Structure 1
Amino acid sequence: MSNKLFNHLFNNPVRLLAPMEGLTDPLMRQILTQIAADLGRPYDWSVSEFIRVTQTVLPAHVFYKYVPELHHNAKTASGTPIHIQLLGSEAQLMAENAAFACALGAPAIDINFGCPAKTVNSHRGGSVLLDEPEVMFKIISAVRKAVPSDTPVSAKIRLGYTDTSRMDDIRGAIAASGADWLTIHARTKTQGYKPPAYWEKIQGFNSLDIPVIANGEIWNSEQAQLCIRQSGTKHLMLGRGAVTRPDLIAQVDTADFPEDESLKKSVLLWQDLIAHQIKFLQGEAKNDVVLVGRYKQWLGMLTKGYPEAQNLWNEIKREKDKAAIITALQASS
């Protein structure tokens, strides 16, 4: 059932920016994809936060809200393509929304079977469907039939819901569905985001006749190389590690191709990151309260990658004024 029409996209190791609800929104995508492009190793593509499909074909403004890049050939300002991710449990409704997304310019459709959020799972969305491989098959195959043949359809999964006992059934459902590639977060829903990730269990999906992308617990280039070895796939999706160290993608490829002189300057220093943080604080949001809250979320993650971020966090953690935060940020260099 596999479609090899898109295998050329995987001739070289792909590096993707993960969809993370409430984190990799359009503003964060713009910043992170720009940094990657500036470092000489742009992301091959990014996947949007999931768009929830429940009772109807969503109006265009919903798609544009989650993926404003649709107004610009579905690419970020730095040229990174954005694939649209849908989440839902009704096959026909998912198919109709996928077709509409393509009509709006989506270059690819990704289907979310990995979200571990309780509110999502309780409404029969995300990773809970890993216990219903037959429903996964119906959704993917319906979407595949509904969108143009030259539009890829992919799926993102975890290793299982409460455990890995359904892995063979999940693999069979994917194999029969017509999915063009598969991304696997190497933990079950129950394991959440708690270390470690079980990259070696991805090996069981490499028998599929489609590319497999590994995801989960990749925070540095050493872990990236270990993931590649243990999973048996050279393709990676970077998530929280890419937010904590926005230069992670370039560091990974420096390890892949140490002889490539163009990748020697792969490290993004704190002073070089300041301008990007200011741009984030000057980005679009409902209001400054929201923007400051989002920035503090990012700064909190940056503390894991930059000691300077910890110092800044200690200084501004109670500050609510955006201008004051920008002033403190500029002084942190």
Structure 2
Amino acid sequence: MHVVSFLKIWLATIALAVLVSCTPAKPANQQYQLDGNTMGTYYVVKFYSDTTPDLTVLKQHIDTELELVNDLMSTYRPESELMRFNRHMDSSAFTISAQTRTVITEALRIAEQTGGVLDVTVGPLVELWGFGAKGRIERAPDEALIAQTRAWVGYDKLQLTEAGLSKDIAQLAVDLSPIAKGYGVDQVAAVLEQQGITDYLVEIGGEMRLKGVKAEKQPWKIAIEKPVSAERAVQRILLPGDMSVATSGDYRNYFEEDGVRYSHLLDPRTGKPITNRTVSVTVLHPSCMTADGYATALNVMAAQEALAFAEQHQLAVLIVTKTADGFNELTSSAMLPYLAE
């Protein structure tokens, strides 16, 4: 009896050893990367996983999600949901998707909070100044045309109800580009989370969302670009942790006429490109959609106005302004913990 029991234990031990030796070793935490094009720019997804993902299937999920955002909110697709609303020429409610409703709800909240500095109804002004789907212009529009177009702009003329989206004047048009890219980042992050991926960086054209850590538990580090058009250089390194990072700047997208530079960032209060000394604003927030919207609004504001707003609302903000000697930084209190030494 004892000999038989001992033999059974010995055989079971040998079988277990053979099974363990034949089982493939679990891969170490490895980096994977996917990239592509969307929203007129690029996207990059980096993530770490200790299992081997099906990258083809994951990329299909990401591309499908981003195509949906484009189909709903792009101003470059004539049949997008947003452009169909813009062609909707009466005051009746236009049915919109849950996704578009989410983005417009947040855009209107920030518009109200900033006194209309972020205004997604500036679409007609964006086109007038040559920064929209109709293409570039070579000369600034005259004052009468600016005044006429301003009469078609105003977030208070846009109504969001349970029935849908409606406009008070037929010419009103919505442009979600100041916030939709950030929303796309959030949606890609949601795809990763659904797949059990919790250590990642998602970027669409400079707007990012990060979570977890890299290999060997190293934190993600983000370089904020020095706001000069002639070179690529680092202004500041951030350690965002589990946050989103959005930067708005006017140093690459502009046109010049008679020595005057016209930024693509328009101030809804004047109907004209901004003329302040702010060259870039970086905002950290859990939501990339929200960070994106705030970054645009704060870049339109004068630097001290933007800093006061950031302090009032406890936003993590880094503002870079142009000086005679180079650049100056203004940092909100909430941003200080995220600055790398």
**Both structures adopt the same fold (TM-score exceeding 0.5):** no
TM-score normalised over the length of structure 1 = 0.22
Larger helix fraction of residues: 1
TM-score normalised over the length of structure 2 = 0.22
Q: Larger Cα Rg: Structure 1 or Structure 2?
A: 2
